[in-house]
Amino acid sequence: MPPTAAVDSPTYSPEVHRVLSQSKPVWTPWTILGVIVTLGILVYSGMVSDLSFVELFEGIGSMANLISKFFPPDFTRWVNYFAATIETIAMGIWGTLLAVIVAIPLSILASQNICPNWIVFPVRRLLDAMRAINELVFALIFIVAVGLGPFAGVLALFVHTAGTLGKLFSEAIESIEPGPVEGIRATGASKVQEVIFGVIPQVIPLWTSYTLYRFEANVRSASVLGIVGAGGIGVTLYQNFRSFNYQNVCAILIILVVTVSVIDTISARIRNHFV
């Protein structure tokens, strides 16, 4: 009786074997630990037991009644709203620009493939501290230092955004191809020249994309900082809310939505050009 033919095992190309060998399982011990800790926090804080959709449905009537007061929007003071919106955009531009200037050197110092661990560790902790604190908290601190107005808002956006961009920029640096850097190093170039000519050209597209996204986010954040007196359209928005001028609030919100949509469209075109 002829021997039973063995079932042929699937054959893969060397590239597929390399990818499969480098792939990591989804449920690693760290992932399982993270899930357990998250569930424990939710249970301990009472969030699981406090989720009441009945209260949500009971409040729909009140929400609908409040929303009906927003219409029709009142654009009689649109010139003032537009001027405050321009101030908000300027806050976002300055906060993002200052953040990029600081984030670039910090991201290089926080990259493990560029600097030793004794430099990377403290710089990363500094970036963690900068982005862990919300812009509103920074705004309250800077208002005490420089007073009310948009300058405090710019400083708040600058510090928080520098921490966020520093983290994103460093991750982009750590994912670069080492070939160009090694080629420049073989010519006898210094460490600074390796970064300028081998690292930065590879990460410029990603850095541009991250910067544009953070600018959009900063414009939205700047509109909220006015609640604590840090300038921009948020001051006008908060004053109208407190005065129950809901039709004015609706007009301001419409202007904000249009502004963010225009910025998003322009940013998308710029990103498509660079990325």
pLDDT: which is higher, 93 or 67: 93
Domain C-terminal end among 6, 25, 60: 60
> Is the same domain home to 25 and 159?
no
For residue 157, give its domain range. 74-274
> Is the same domain home to 55 and 83?
no
> Is the same domain home to 186 and 228?
yes
Alpha-carbon span 33 to 39, nearest angstrom = 10
pLDDT at 135 over 50: yes
pLDDT: which is higher, 57 or 152: 152
Question: Would residue 5 count as lying in a domain?
Answer: no
- Average pLDDT, stretch 114-127? 86
pLDDT of residue 46: 56
Alpha-carbon span 179 to 246, nearest angstrom = 59
Domain count across the chain: 2
Q: CB 33: neighbour CB atoms within 10 A?
A: 10
What percent of the chain clears pLDDT 70, i.e. is strictly above it?
80
> Is the same domain home to 45 and 153?
no
> Is the same domain home to 165 and 267?
yes
pLDDT of residue 56: 62
Question: Would residue 116 count as lying in a domain?
Answer: yes
Question: Would residue 1 count as lying in a domain?
Answer: no
pTM score of the predicted model: 0.72
Q: How confident is the model at residue 268 (pLDDT cuts 50, 70, 90)?
A: confident
* DSSP, residue by residue, 42-104: HHHHTHHHH--HHHHHHTHHHHHHHHHTT-S---TTHHHHHHHHHHHHHHHHHHHHHHHHHHH
Q: Which residues contact 141 (CB under 8 A, 6 or more apart)?
A: 156
pLDDT of residue 70: 73
Question: Would residue 153 count as lying in a domain?
Answer: yes
Rounded (10°) angle between helices 200-225 and 246-274: 180
Q: How confident is the model at residue 101 (pLDDT cuts 50, 70, 90)?
A: very high
CATH number at residue 89: 1.10.3720.10
Torsion, Cα 54 57 63 65, to 10 degrees, reads -120
| Cis peptide preceding 72, ω within 30 of 0 | yes
pLDDT at 164 over 70: yes
pLDDT at 274 over 60: yes
pLDDT at 167 over 50: yes
